[in-house]
Each structure stands twice: as structure tokens, then as C-alpha cells.
């Protein structure tokens, strides 16, 4: 077989603020791969079908010597993130051609996964495929963002029926699942989002008890309409974190998942009312869901429940799917500007 195209989105330059399409991240189409001769190093080759866009990717757009919880992207190499692909070549007895796998893959049409990396790939079982979920959902509500929501809400938030929760970024990949889990457990659910359409969706489709547009409403005034907060699920940080600290009940639990308001503006002002943590005896806990990737008990708990809840309609999922790697750079930059509505995903190819 002659070499075939393997176009990609590559990391071209470290940004200092918002990443720019064509400067910091570029689509390149002059790459090829020869599936007959490529050296898998005892691993596999996948045809990549869908790949996730997530806010944490901004933190990976950094210089190689800057340390963080996740590795930086390599300059002039494809971006990487959670993906679903189909095995098209295997030199590893664990995998068969035609199987679907979930894990880390490239923003490219085909990815070589050497043997050393295959332990981190999860085969989507035939029983799971029978649930009929779109492949995009396996990188969203049934993947890392769903795990983030589930672990943060249940294992850190420790919810109790009748409590009040406030979720920022509530229409996003994580927030929409947290809100529905909270309604499932009998909590009063308040959410914020960045447009009136998103607010309407939270109230009419997901049955949030209250939602508001943080760009046009005063978060402190909105939270004052309800009982003090018992749980705060933070995806945004900034002024809304300050508002939640003011509105918190004694012994409230703050689940610190992300702070997207500061990802591209790291020099914005800090939190000015942290003394509330002491006076109200609050628990603030940050977490990285990647820590649970090798926890078999958590993985079993999550995959035995959440995909089925999605399939039977107990959890609704809203996705923002962009088709084609050609459009991926724009979609990635858009997530930092709130342009996505729901879980942002790139559909690289049809099955």
C-alpha cells in the first residue's frame, strides 16, 4: 500500500495569551503514513475517529521546561487528547483489528501507539457498543469529562438530599453532568453560563432550579436568592468563586475542578475574601481526574453506571461537534471564548 495522508493539527508556538489559529496551532496536510511499513514498536495503529477538546489543553500550550500536572505539547507535533479510534494495524496480542479504543491519541488521522503506551488504552467492549452511544459521547459524558463530574460530585462533594449546589460553567461538558447528578440526588441546583441560550437550556432541558448569565447578572445577588451553598462546583474561578465564598454555608464543600477565567489571563486579580475559608470552616479541594485513570475500583464504578444512565435517558448530553481536522483549530480556540455550547468534540472521520 502506498503512503496515505495523515493530516494533523500541530503545536507551532507557545502563546502568552489567547492562542491564535495559524500562529500557535496550525493545520498541516502534507504528512503521510505507510500502514504497511510503519514500525508500531509492538503496539498498534489507530484510525482516529473523534477527539476531545477540553479547557485543560490551554495549560499544555507551554514551554517544555515549565512543570505542571500534565505534559506540555511538543512543538511541531500533533496536539494530543482523549480520543476514540479504530485499530487498523496491530502487532500486539491484546488488540484486534476493528476494535474501538479510548485513551490518548493525536489530533491527526492516524496515530501509532507503541507497546509502552497501549496499557493506557481502553477497549470499548461489544456490550458497551450495544448501548448505541455516539462515539463522540465516549470522549465526553462517558469519558474523561463524565468521570470528572462523577468523582468531583460524589467523592469530594459528598452530597446530601436537600442541600444547595452552585455550578459554574454549568452548560459545559462537566457542568451539565454535575447538575443532572445533583438533581438525581435531590439537591437544589443553581448554575451559571455565558449566554441566555445556555441559561434557558439549563432551566428547560436539565431542570435546574435557577440559572443565570454571569455576563449580565450579578452572581452575588443571584446566589442571595437561595439558602447558603453547601456545595460549590468550580469550573471558572474569579469573581464567581468570590461570590460562592460569600454565599457559602458553614462547612460547605468547594470542588475545585478548573478556573478557565484565568487560563488566558494569569495576571488577573486573585481571590479577595479567602478568610471565609477559615471563618466558615470550608473544605476546598482541587483534583485531577487523571489520578483516577489507574484506579480500577473507580473505573468499574463509573463505567458500570454512567454509560447506561446516558443510554436510557437518565442523563441528557449536549455536544458541540466540529467535523474535520481542518476546522479543529478554530474550535479549540473557541472553547476559551465560550463559543461552544455543550461538550466540544472534533469528528475526524466517519467509521
State which of 289, 310, 327 marks the end of a domain: 289
- For 230-240, b/e burial (b = at least 16 CB within 10 A) is bbbbbbbbbbb
Indicate if 129 and 148 belong to the same structural domain: no
**Is residue 303, in this structure, part of any structural domain at all?**
no
Indicate if 22 and 69 belong to the same structural domain: yes
**Is residue 275, in this structure, part of any structural domain at all?**
yes
**Is residue 96, in this structure, part of any structural domain at all?**
yes
Indicate if 111 and 241 belong to the same structural domain: no
**Locate cell 447578572: which residue?**
217
**Is residue 311, in this structure, part of any structural domain at all?**
no
Amino acid 267: pLDDT: 65
Residue 235 has φ and ψ, to the nearest 5°, of -115, -5
Q: Is 90 helix (H, G, I), strand (E, B) or coil?
A: strand
Indicate if 181 and 112 belong to the same structural domain: no
Indicate if 56 and 121 belong to the same structural domain: yes
Indicate if 127 and 154 belong to the same structural domain: no
Range of 247's domain?
A: 144-289
Confidence (pTM): 0.95
Question: Pairing mode, if any, of strands 100-106 and 80-90?
Answer: antiparallel
CATH number of residue 60's parent domain: 3.90.180.10
Indicate if 115 and 158 belong to the same structural domain: no
Q: Are 94 and 79 in contact (CB under 8 A)?
A: no
Amino acid 266: pLDDT: 64
**Is residue 305, in this structure, part of any structural domain at all?**
no
Indicate if 268 and 159 belong to the same structural domain: yes
Indicate if 323 and 250 belong to the same structural domain: no
**Is residue 63, in this structure, part of any structural domain at all?**
yes
Q: Are 75 and 12 in contact (CB under 8 A)?
A: yes
State how far the Cα of 322 lies from the Cα of 345, in Å rounded to an integer: 6
Please give the C-alpha separations between residue 300 and each of 235, 305, 306, in angstroms, as whole numbers. Answer: 25, 9, 10
Indicate if 258 and 214 belong to the same structural domain: yes
Indicate if 178 and 136 belong to the same structural domain: no
- Which residue stretches of the chain are H helix? 115-118, 126-129, 144-150, 175-184, 196-204, 219-223, 238-247, 275-279, 296-311, 328-335
Closest C-alpha among 271, 209, 270 to residue 243: 271
State which of 246, 269, 289 marks the end of a domain: 289
State how far the Cα of 136 lies from the Cα of 51, in Å rounded to an integer: 8
String of DSSP letters for 275-319: HHHHHTT-EEEE--GGGGTT-HHHHHHHHHHHHHHHHTTSS---E
* Cell numbers for 60: 499544555
Indicate if 148 and 192 belong to the same structural domain: yes
**Locate cell 442523563: which residue?**
315
State how far the Cα of 74 lies from the Cα of 77, in Å rounded to an integer: 5
* pLDDT tens across the length of the chain (351 residues): 789 999 999 999 999 989 999 999 999 999 999 999 999 999 999 999 999 999 999 999 999 999 999 999 999 999 999 999 999 999 999 999 999 999 999 999 999 999 999 999 999 999 999 999 999 999 999 999 999 999 999 999 999 999 999 999 999 999 999 999 999 999 999 999 999 999 999 999 999 999 999 999 999 999 999 999 999 999 999 999 999 999 999 999 999 999 988 877 766 677 999 999 999 999 999 999 999 998 999 999 999 999 999 999 999 999 999 999 999 999 999 999 889 999 999 999 998
**Is residue 295, in this structure, part of any structural domain at all?**
no
**Is residue 304, in this structure, part of any structural domain at all?**
no
Q: How many structural domains compose the chain?
A: 2
DSSP state of 172: S
* Cell numbers for 151: 468523582
* Cell numbers for 43: 503496539
Residues in a beta bridge with 170: none
CATH number of residue 249's parent domain: 3.40.50.720
State which of 268, 289, 310 marks the end of a domain: 289
Amino acid at each position: 500500500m502506498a503512503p496515505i495522508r495523515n493530516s494533523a493539527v500541530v503545536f507551532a508556538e507557545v502563546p502568552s495569551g489567547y492562542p491564535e489559529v495559524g500562529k500557535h496551532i496550525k493545520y498541516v496536510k502534507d504528512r503521510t503514513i505507510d500502514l504497511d511499513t510503519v514500525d508500531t514498536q509492538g503496539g498498534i495503529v489507530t484510525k482516529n475517529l473523534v477527539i476531545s477538546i477540553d479547557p485543560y489543553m490551554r495549560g499544555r500550550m507551554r514551554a517544555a521546561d515549565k512543570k505542571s500536572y500534565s505534559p506540555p505539547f511538543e512543538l511541531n507535533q500533533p496536539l494530543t487528547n482523549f480520543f476514540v479510534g479504530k485499530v487498523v494495524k496491530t502487532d500486539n496480542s491484546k488488540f484486534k483489528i476493528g476494535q474501538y479504543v479510548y485513551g490518548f491519541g493525536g489530533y491527526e488521522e492516524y496515530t501509532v501507539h507503541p507497546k509502552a503506551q497501549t496499557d493506557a488504552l481502553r477497549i470499548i467492549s461489544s456490550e458497551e457498543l450495544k448501548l448505541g452511544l455516539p462515539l463522540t459521547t465516549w470522549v465526553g459524558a462517558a469519558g474523561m469529562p463524565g468521570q470528572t463530574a462523577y468523582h468531583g460530585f460524589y467523592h469530594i462533594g459528598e452530597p446530601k438530599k436537600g442541600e444547595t449546589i452552585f455550578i459554574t460553567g454549568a452548560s459545559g461538558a462537566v457542568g451539565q453532568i454535575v447538575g443532572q447528578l445533583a438533581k438525581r440526588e435531590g439537591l437544589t441546583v443553581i448554575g451559571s453560563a455565558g449566554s441566555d441560550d445556555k441559561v434557558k437550556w439549563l432551566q428547560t432541558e436539565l431542570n435546574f432550579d435557577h440559572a443565570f448569565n454571569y455576563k449580565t447578572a450579578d452572581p452575588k445577588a443571584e446566589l442571595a436568592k437561595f439558602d447558603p451553598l453547601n456545595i460549590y462546583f468550580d469550573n471558572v474561578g474569579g469573581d464567581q468563586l468570590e461570590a460562592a465564598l460569600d454565599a457559602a454555608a458553614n462547612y460547605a464543600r468547594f470542588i475545585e475542578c478548573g478556573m478557565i477565567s484565568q487560563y488566558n489571563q494569569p495576571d488577573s486579580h486573585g481571590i479577595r475574601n479567602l478568610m471565609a475559608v477559615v471563618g466558615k470552616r470550608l473544605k476546598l479541594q482541587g483534583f485531577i481526574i487523571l489520578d483516577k485513570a489507574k484506579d480500577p475500583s473507580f473505573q468499574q464504578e463509573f463505567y458500570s453506571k454512567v454509560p447506561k444512565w446516558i443510554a436510557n435517558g437518565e442523563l441528557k448530553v449536549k455536544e458541540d461537534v466540529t467535523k474535520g481536522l481542518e476546522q479543529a483549530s478554530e474550535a479549540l480556540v473557541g472553547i476559551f471564548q465560550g463559543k461552544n455550547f455543550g461538550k466540544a468534540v472534533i469528528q475526524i472521520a466517519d467509521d
